[in-house]
Structure formats: structure tokens, C-alpha cells
């Protein structure tokens, strides 16, 4: 018995909005009652090798007053003029969420986004992947845009023709809250500038490869004082402004000098993940009054010595290899002259992933066991390739260490 057909139209349209559009259209074969229902679904979601005819016919037959969502992924090249028409129609239909994924394997052909897109009043979320953007107009206004993604996993990217395009786009987003950008090739850009006062969440994967030549100003500049969440993976120079609202930060840097520039602006963070080799000289990094959770990449665990004195409320400390680590040589650990305040009063949990039993690692763990008066858990997970003999030796060395906290439980796996 057909239990769906008697449902109200609004509910049926809601149900049909979940599957891809091609699946929703097949319901037209069920009965006369279903023949035209799909035409009123306010969503176009299509992933197929050849999309031109399908998308064109959909836009012609579509009867909903508003096209709330348009999500198109292309697996073959299409004429830029066709793409421009699709996007222009979407804007005319009051699109709110627009995701366009161009063919990643075809020749890089410039796409001129329709002028009406740059002044779209209804757009709330915009995602562009594998798109080479040119001819950005001087007037840009996205009054409702809250999320902008110019990124994707792996090698998906958006490319820009010069330094001015990104700041020009961002300047027209007065209420932007979330921004994610992946840049693989610098192209004609030297400085990648992100200046958005309203921005709350930012992810920047700057994957420029190769060495920087003298006079080459390639770099990343971020001025977003309202940020609460920041992720930066950069192989080029990076500069920040103060971020007093910052709660979470995930930082991976390839240059020792950059770590000095960034850390002084991250002191408001409550949760920090860090993969960056420190400079060989000491410098003030500021006090992390709010930091309660710290993750240090095992390639640079020497940060433990520098930061621990500046984190009076730290509760959780983790050492682990961070994905795609730059793999610097670990610097020799040196015991601090006095016990940091967090070890005396707040540190509860210490975890070490892929422990190898190096002398500096062993000294660090032993120091924490001996001096952490409030420690409740010390968990060590050996590198998977470690043989049983070495594991047993590590366990004996660490488990026999005197513990300052009587509540501390020691786990070794």
C-alpha cells in the first residue's frame, strides 16, 4: 500500500530534497500524482560525467519559486558559457546554498562567474572547487553570505589571477562567519591577505611548495580579530593580528621564524595544537592564561619546555605526530629551572602517541611523572613498529619512575 502519496505536498517535497535530483526525478514514474512533484523541489544536486543537457532541462522545467540549493559536480569539461548560464539562473531563483565543483582533470580554463553572482542578495553559503577565477568586478556585495569555501580535500583548489581578487571578494562580505581556503599554486599572487572583522572560523591550507627566492614576497596575512577558531597549515611566511576571542587553534608551520610571529597572537586560546620547530634562541611568547588543552607534534616536543611555564591552567597535554608533519629533528630536551605552575596545580592528563623511547622523550615523561602533583592519567602508546623487547624495556623504565601524584594511573600500550 502506498503510504507516501497521501502525505501533504510540503512533506513530500521535504522527503524528495534528501536524495540527488536524478533520483528524485525517477519518482515521476510512480503515478500521475507524482509526475510533476519533483519540479517543485527547491534543490538541484547532480553529479555525473555529462551534465549540460540534464541541468539545462532541469532549470527549464523547474517550477519552484525559489531554488534554495544548487550543488553541481562536473566530471568532464563543459563550455564556460554553459556554466555561467547555470549560475546566473540560480541567482535569479534566489539561491541560498551554491556549491560548484568543476572538472579537476581537464585543462584549466578560466570561468567568468556571472556578474549577478557577485551581488547576490540571498546567498548564504558559497563553495567553489577547481575553479580559476578571473574578471572579478569592482563592485561586490554578498549581504547574506556567512560561509565561503574555496577548498576541498586532496588537490582540489581555487586559483586567483592576482593579489587583489581575494581582498576584493572578502570586502563585500560584511557578515561572513566561516572561511576555508586551500591554495596549492601561488599563480600570480605574492601576498594572500584575509581581512574580515566579522570572521569567526578560518581554515587556510597554504600548500605552496618549493623554496622562496630573494625578493619574492609570497606570504599569508590574516587580520580577523573576532576569530574563535583558526586552522593554519602554511609553508610560506605568515603574520597575524591580535585575536582576543580565540578558543581553538591548529597551527602547522614550516619556518622557525613564523612560530615566533604567531604564538604571541594565540594567547587567548583554550585549545591549541602546534607543529612548528622553534627558533634556536629564546624569546617571549606571552602567557596563555586560558589554555586548558595543548597538543604538541612529537617532531617539536621541545615546545614543552617553552610553553609549559606560560600555561598556568593547563589540564591536558598530548604529544602525537600531526598529519603530514614537516619532520624536523627533535631538539634535545632540557629540564626547566623551576616547576611550572600548571604541573603543581592543574595538569590532570598526559598522553604520548607513537612513543619511541628516545632519551629526550624518556626525560620528558619522567619529569612530568615526578613533578605533576595533580596528575590522574599518564598514557603512553608506543610506535606500532616497536618490537616486544623494546616495549618491555620502555615499560620498565617509565613505570618504575617515582610519581608526585598518588592518584596517577599509568597506562602503556
**DSSP codes joined into one string, 235-304:** SSEEEE---TT--EEEEEES-HHHHHHHHTT-TT-SEEEEE-PPPSS-------TT--EEEE-GGGTTHH
**Does 299 score more than 70 pLDDT?**
yes
Q: Are residues 271 and 295 in the same domain?
A: no
Residue 147 lies in a domain: yes
Place of cell 602525537: 320
The structure's pTM equals 0.83
Q: Are residues 241 and 171 in the same domain?
A: no
Residue 21 lies in a domain: no
Residue 122 lies in a domain: yes
Residue 365 lies in a domain: yes
- Is pLDDT larger for residue 228 or for residue 5? 228
Q: Give the mean pLDDT of 125-138.
A: 80
Residue 258 lies in a domain: yes
**Does 289 score more than 90 pLDDT?**
yes
- Is pLDDT larger for residue 301 or for residue 85? 85
Q: Are residues 363 and 253 in the same domain?
A: no
Q: Are residues 318 and 371 in the same domain?
A: yes
Please give the Cα distance from 207 to 153 (Å, whole number): 12
Q: Are residues 155 and 97 in the same domain?
A: yes
Residue 333 lies in a domain: no
pLDDT bucket at 372, cuts 50 / 70 / 90: very high
Q: Are residues 298 and 345 in the same domain?
A: yes
Place of cell 567553489: 128
Please give the Cα distance from 277 to 328 (Å, whole number): 7
Q: Please give the DSSP secondary-structure letter assigned to residue 86.
A: H
- Is pLDDT larger for residue 241 or for residue 256? 241
Summarize pLDDT for 350-363 with one digit per residue, the tens: 999 999 988 888 88
Question: Which residues, 6 or more positions from 123, have their beta carbon under 8 angstroms from its beta carbon?
Answer: 91, 95, 96, 97, 98, 117, 142, 144, 145
The torsion defined by the Cα of 23, 27, 28 and 32, in degrees rounded to 10, comes to -170
Q: Give the mean pLDDT of 14-22.
A: 79
Residue 330 lies in a domain: no
Q: Give the mean pLDDT of 205-232.
A: 72
Q: Domain range spanning residue 198?
A: 189-209+220-280
Please give the Cα distance from 314 to 308 (Å, whole number): 8
Q: Are residues 399 and 384 in the same domain?
A: yes
The CA-based angle 167-168-171, given to 5 degrees, is 80
Q: Are residues 252 and 143 in the same domain?
A: no
**How many percent of the chain have pLDDT more than 70?**
77
Average pLDDT, the chain: 80
Residue 73 lies in a domain: yes
Q: What is the pLDDT of residue 162?
A: 53
Q: Are residues 46 and 170 in the same domain?
A: yes
How many structural domains does the chain have? 3
pLDDT bucket at 245, cuts 50 / 70 / 90: very high
Q: Are residues 408 and 309 in the same domain?
A: yes
- Is pLDDT larger for residue 309 or for residue 284? 309
Q: Are residues 310 and 377 in the same domain?
A: yes
Q: Are residues 112 and 59 in the same domain?
A: yes
Q: b vs e for 264-285, b when ≥16 Cβ sit within 10 Å of the residue's Cβ? A: ebbbbbbbbbbbbbbeeeeeeb
Amino acid at each position: 500500500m502506498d503510504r507516501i502519496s497521501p502525505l501533504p505536498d510540503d512533506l513530500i517535497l521535504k522527503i524528495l530534497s534528501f536524495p540527488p535530483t536524478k533520483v528524485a526525478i525517477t519518482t515521476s514514474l510512480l503515478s500521475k500524482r507524482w509526475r510533476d512533484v519533483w519540479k517543485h523541489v527547491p534543490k538541484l544536486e547532480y553529479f555525473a560525467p555529462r551534465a549540460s543537457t540534464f541541468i539545462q532541462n532541469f532549470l527549464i522545467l523547474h517550477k519552484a519559486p525559489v531554488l534554495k540549493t544548487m550543488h553541481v559536480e562536473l566530471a568532464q569539461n563543459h563550455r564556460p558559457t554553459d556554466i555561467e548560464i547555470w549560475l546566473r539562473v540560480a541567482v535569479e531563483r534566489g539561491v541560498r546554498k551554491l556549491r560548484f565543483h568543476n572538472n579537476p582533470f581537464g585543462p584549466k580554463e578560466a570561468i567568468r562567474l556571472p556578474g549577478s553572482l557577485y551581488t547576490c542578495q540571498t546567498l548564504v553559503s558559497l563553495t567553489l572547487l577547481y575553479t580559476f577565477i578571473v574578471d572579478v568586478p569592482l563592485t561586490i556585495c554578498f549581504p547574506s553570505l556567512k560561509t565561503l569555501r574555496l577548498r576541498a580535500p586532496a588537490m582540489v583548489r581555487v586559483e586567483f589571477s592576482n593579489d587583489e581578487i581575494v581582498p576584493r571578494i572578502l570586502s563585500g562580505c560584511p557578515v561572513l562567519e566561516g572561511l576555508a581556503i586551500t591554495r596549492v599554486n601561488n599563480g600570480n599572487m605574492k601576498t594572500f591577505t584575509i581581512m574580515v572583522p566579522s570572521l569567526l572560523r578560518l581554515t587556510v591550507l597554504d600548500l605552496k611548495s618549493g623554496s622562496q627566492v630573494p625578493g619574492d614576497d609570497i606570504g599569508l596575512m590574516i587580520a580577523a580579530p573576532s576569530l574563535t577558531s583558526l586552522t593554519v597549515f602554511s609553508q610560506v611566511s605568515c603574520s597575524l593580528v591580535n585575536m582576543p576571542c580565540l578558543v581553538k587553534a591548529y597551527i602547522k608551520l614550516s619556518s622557525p621564524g613564523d612560530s615566533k610571529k604567531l604564538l604571541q597572537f594565540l594567547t587567548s586560546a583554550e585549545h591549541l595544537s602546534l607543529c612548528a620547530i622553534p627558533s634556536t634562541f629564546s624569546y617571549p611568547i606571552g602567557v596563555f592564561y586560558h589554555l586548558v588543552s595543548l597538543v604538541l607534534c612529537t617532531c617539536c616536543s621541545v615546545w614543552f619546555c617553552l610553553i609549559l611555564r606560560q600555561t598556568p591552567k593547563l589540564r591536558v597535554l598530548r604529544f602525537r605526530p600531526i598529519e603530514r608533519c614537516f619532520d624536523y629533528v627533535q631538539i634535545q630536551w632540557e629540564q626547566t629551572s623551576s616547576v611550572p605552575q600548571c604541573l603543581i596545580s592543574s595538569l590532570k592528563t598526559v598522553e604520548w602517541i607513537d612513543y619511541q623511547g628516545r632519551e629526550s622523550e624518556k626525560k620528558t615523561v619522567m619529569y612530568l611523572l615526578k613533578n605533576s602533583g595533580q596528575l590522574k592519567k599518564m598514557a603512553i602508546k608506543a610506535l606500532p613498529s616497536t618490537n616486544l623487547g623494546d616495549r618491555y624495556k620502555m615499560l620498565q623504565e617509565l613505570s618504575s619512575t617515582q610519581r608526585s601524584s598518588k592518584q596517577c594511573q599509568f597506562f602503556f600500550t
